Amino acid sequence: MIEPLGRLIARPWADVVTGMQVDSRRIEEGDLFVAIGEGEDFVEHALARGASAALVPADAVAALAAVASAVRERSRARVVAITGSTGKTSTKDILFALCAPHRRTVANEGNYNTEIGVPLTICRIDEDTELCISELGMRGLGQIAWLASFVRPDVGVITNVGPVHLGLVQTIENVARAKAELLEALPAGGVAVVPEERLLEPYLTRTDISIRRVDDAAPIPFRTNYTSAHQLSNTRTAIAVAEVLDVPLPKRSLDVEFSKLREEERELPGGGLLLNDCYNANPVSMRAALLHLAERGQGARLIAVLGEMAELGTGAPAYHREIGALLRELGITDVIAVGPLARDYGGTWVASAEEATAELRAVLRPGDVVLVKGSRSVGLEAVAENLVD
């Protein structure tokens, strides 16, 4: 199966591989090292670290997918695939916390949801794995269909549909169309877990799958170590999936360790608080983060360090103006806006994350509650890191 995909360098004593990596520094004994990009320069390093074999692929994406497909074919694990405009990673984190105590569960690291990250997740399935949870990201029409072709999910989850990646797909209707590719990939007897979303209705006509709609007003029957409204919405989605999987819910409480740069709370000197939510941003997630800031920081001075939102196509200025209007509605006047499109937020405008750091240090007072959020291209993680050093 592997040799037609490229050049294989195998240890003479190795007849099986036990995992797959594309970073030679992460190799453990028995792994297959797939040398993507400039990885061919690190083949010897991977073998020295104990790799059973190294593959120098002719087509890296095809090779990773083929290996993952072979692993999936051999596994009896149930696979849950999650996509959506926002909340994919957090929903995955919550679902993992619900399922791991009851099922031998594998879930993608961070937001490994691309044509590289998804195969790496599938290849973590071993003979004892009972459940695999994998995010599927969208870079355009056809992307989710491609990922689902080798993930072969039993349960497909769409968290929501919103204005993201519009530079690639142009309209929100096309966002829904792209997300719905996951529903088409489900096998007969599969289960779709979806929100009450008008734009998805044209894609919910299959009669050979079960459709579970998430009630976003349903009570959550246990305590959580988080309180933001959008995370509670993600929790309702994860609960619906757990019920489909016959996983018992916690009787009292649930503690979730969220992936990095997503709603991290860190204390600041003088009794202040940093809400570090700078992994990415779009109009839906930005609105949710600002509402959480207003709720979490009641009684304190609120500072919002907000980067521009990328990949919104020709409607980008209007979406940024909407966020500016929300800031005024919430009474958040201490705003540091970063990037050209962010001028419409109001407040103090700066061109870069470095300037934002300097501005924030100049105005920060003890007891302030600070939100840092923006598209990854703005690099606001540097603001958060410098603030707590």
Asked whether residue 1 carries a pLDDT value surpassing 70, the answer given is no
CB under 8 Å to 166, separation ≥6 — which residues?
172, 175, 311, 312, 313, 314, 315, 316
Q: How far apart are CA 30 and CA 14, in angstroms?
A: 8
For the chain, the helix, strand and coil percentages under 3-state DSSP, each to the nearest 5: 40, 20, 40
Q: Which amino acid is at 361?
A: R
Please give the DSSP secondary-structure letter assigned to residue 315. G
Region of poorest pLDDT, from 79-83, 122-126, 382-386: 382-386
Is the domain covering 3-58 a CATH 3.40.50.800 domain?
Answer: no
Question: Which tokens sit at 204?
Answer: 């919910």
Contact 300, 369 (CB under 8 A): yes
Region of poorest pLDDT, from 79-83, 185-189, 270-274: 270-274
pLDDT tens figures, 145-154: 999 999 999 9
- Residue 3: the pLDDT is 55
pLDDT tens figures, 292-333: 999 999 999 999 999 999 999 999 999 999 999 999 999 999
Q: Considering the domain delimited by 264-388, tell me its CATH architecture.
A: Alpha-Beta Complex (3.90)
pLDDT tens figures, 277-302: 988 899 999 999 999 999 999 999 99
Of all residues in the chain, the percent with pLDDT exceeding 70 is: 99
Q: What is the dihedral of CA 146, 152, 156, 161, to 10 degrees?
A: 0
- Residue 389: the pLDDT is 60
Please give the DSSP secondary-structure letter assigned to residue 379. -
Q: One fold for both 65-254 and 264-388?
A: no
pTM: predicted TM-score of the whole model, two decimal places: 0.91
Q: How far apart are CA 172 and CA 161, in angstroms?
A: 8
Average per-residue pLDDT for the chain: 94
List the domain boundaries for the chain: 3-58, 65-254, 264-388
DSSP calls for 219-273: PPSSEES---HHHHHHHHHHHHHHHHTTPPPPSSEE---PPTTSSEEEEETTTEE
- Residue 274: the pLDDT is 95
Asked whether residue 338 carries a pLDDT value surpassing 90, the answer given is yes
pLDDT tens figures, 204-224: 999 999 999 999 999 999 999
Q: How far apart are CA 229 and CA 16, in angstroms?
A: 47
Q: How far apart are CA 122 and CA 114, in angstroms?
A: 12
> Which CATH number describes the domain made up of 65-254?
3.40.1190.10
